[in-house]
A and B are shown apart, each in its own frame.
Chain A
Amino acid sequence: MFRKILVANRGEIALRVMRTCREMGLATVAVYSDVDRKAPHVRYADEAYAIGPAPSTESYLRIDRILEVARRCHAEAIHPGYGFLSENVEFARACEAAGIIFVGPPASAMELMGSKTASRHAAIAAGVPVVPGTDRNLESFEEIRRVADEIGYPVMLKASAGGGGKGLRLVHAAGELESAWRNARSEAENAFGDASVYLEKYLDRPRHIEIQVLGDRHGHLIYLGERECSLQRRHQKVMEECPSPAVDEPLRQRMGETAVRIAKLAGYVNAGTVEFLVDQNRNFYFLEMNTRLQVEHPITELVVGIDLVREQLKIAAGEPLSLSQEDVRMHGAAIECRVYAEDPENNFFPSPGLITRLKAPAGPGVRDDSGVYEGWAVPLEYDPLLSKLAVWGRDRTEAIARMRRALEEYAVEGIKTNLAFFRRLLDHPDFVAGRLDTGLVDRALADRSAGADRSREAEIAAMLAAALHVTRTAPKASVQRAAMGESPWKIAGREALLDSWPRRERN
């Protein structure tokens, strides 16, 4: 087992990874940009080194600077977290070349699965069901149109080189196809430097269900259940749960074994996630594979009873998996909300700024993976994720009640957050019934029937507090007036008149 590890990331994931490292007795090294000098991961780490100005392209994405720090401080391994360089083949290769252990899959597996079209192609070759569509990039509009006609509308145009909702266009009819194709290509070019797009059939109200896989360097590969990630806004996940209300044991086994088959094909090692779309008839189709630890990994950890980062580190050090497929048990239910610095009242516009008050929930079954603290100024250069709030309960009903309780306790002032949005979503009848699909969030947002729940007593408390505050913090006006030369007797007389109680002549 190595002794010192550099975490090439920031925010909540950097802190989360470092916590497990500390439990395992590993020395931790943080890297930070100019605006992150006071960030929690910098304060927590054993060592910390500056790597450049705020923009990611000049700091957290600088392979050269990160490797330089690793060499300088003799870090033997690098954990890339998620996002940033975690799925960057060049970075994985550069670590290999520098003799530094990259905590993740081999660069070759990353490369194969990182390309959406290549991975689809591989899956088809393996007899794994895929969402009907093309398995190669389509260069000309005529090709696109022909394939769309073959598959049948509606279709989804997707950027081959990336994700995160960019370069995606849903096309309902042939007339929209040309402009959608142009827009998707230009967005993909801007976001990933690669305009390639391909086409897939758009499934009706699909569920997005993914399988966690884990593989060691000795050829053992297992699956650790599924996560339901259908609650998305603009194709980005906002809330996840484990297990999926739509998955029974036989389906879990079929999907899990399929995921393992795909991972084996890719020569996959370490933690990864295979994503599927599941239609209303419970047919599942391979979507893509994420060759990294995912944001929502805590819910799997809570339900399976495992520390995935710990497993990642052991695998990277060459140790065999600590459990076999037969050992994997799922117990209870977990839900996670991604708490973001954004304003739901204003179209979820990012809300960077100073956090003046932060009180995170605690108590039984509550886990808050936070990357911020009271007094921290959320920078605008990065993803505005504040924390991941996860809860565990003995069943889904208990987990929902617990999440409601935790969301009520969560207090953040100084910036706007999406907490109020989650509180509403938790009450939506489709959510409570487990009727989840990728359109639910938009429907919940459109359905803004519930107004502010007005408790008269709470309003009174608010008014009393403001009145108390003003009378206690303002200097006594009479003292000021006396200082200006008014007769103290006159002042006292006025005070007595104004403060007299009660004034029944008021109407």
Chain B
Amino acid sequence: MKFGIKLRVGSGTTEHRLEFRTGAANHASGGQLQFSLDGETEIRSADWVEIAPGAYSILLDGRSYEAWVSVSPTAAGSREFSVTVGTHRYRVELQDPRERRHGGVAGAQQGPQEILAPMPGKIVKVLVDENQQVAAGEGLVVIEAMKMQNELRAPRPGRVEKVYVAAGVGVETGTKLVRVVS
């Protein structure tokens, strides 16, 4: 199987190509796999086993890693996962080249992202206008909640396609605030 991968950790993103296959001796929840990264000719092996739903113990040349996979709640239809390995959290976005070929559901790695209110509160200030370009980490909206003011920021660079709220408006958890298109 082949995947194009966008790997995000912290505020940096790198892109990779991963080719891997599981061996004949595999059973349903563990076994050996072989892989090659970024077109390198070296093929490596890994031993894997599922330890809990979505959790994998992976041995890479004897070194032990535990990876916890959860589906990222961003866009439906994209294959973006939040994977925790040790104390680090990675965002792994997968693209299966076969889907492109058959015109199936394309991984929505770009596309609109709705920024939602994380909890009930009141909009203090809207920091952007529609059609404004924003950088990753740039402030979009200031919300007051739980007696504190907090600035919500753009998770990645893009253009503000729509602003749903204005200063003074009360919001609930999940209320749409801003749509950013990458």
Contact = CB atoms under 8 A, between A and B. Distances in A.
Interface of A: 346-347, 349-352, 356-357, 380, 407-408, 411, 413, 419-420, 423, 451-455, 457-472, 477, 481, 498-499, 501-504, 506-507
B68 to A, nearest CB: 7
Contacts of B124: none
A459 B60 contact: no
B7 A459 contact: yes
Majority secondary structure of chain A interface residues (helix, strand, loop or mixed): helix
A507 B39 contact: yes
B150 A457 contact: no
Given A457-B65, A463-B5, A423 B87 contact: yes
Given A498-B2, A502-B41, A507-B39, A463 B16 contact: yes
Given A461-B67, A477-B98, A346 B153 contact: yes
A462 B150 contact: no
Given A380-B119, A468-B33, A462 B148 contact: no
Contacts of B70: 356, 413
Interface of B: 1-3, 5, 7, 9-10, 12, 16, 18-22, 33, 35-37, 39, 41, 43, 46, 48, 50, 54, 56, 58, 60, 63, 65, 67-70, 79, 81, 83-88, 90, 92, 94, 96-98, 102, 104, 118-120, 145-146, 148, 150-153
A407 B58 CA distance: 22
Contacts of B153: 346
A499 B1 CA distance: 6
Given A349-B150, A356-B70, A458-B85, A502 B37 contact: no
B33 A502 contact: no
Contact of A467 (B85, B94, B104): B94
A507 to B, nearest CB: 7
B164 to A, nearest CB: 20
- Closest 5 A-B residue pairs measured CB to CB? A465-B67, A452-B10, A461-B65, A466-B92, A462-B83
A383 to B, nearest CB: 10
A468 B5 contact: no
Contacts of B41: 502, 504
Contacts of B152: 346
Contact of B84 (A347, A411, A453): A411
Nearest to B150: A349
A481 B102 CA distance: 10
Given A462-B90, A471-B1, A350 B119 contact: yes
Contacts of B10: 451-452
A106 B8 CA distance: 57
B68 A413 contact: yes
Contacts of B67: 461-462, 464-465
B151 to A, nearest CB: 7
Contacts of B146: 350, 380
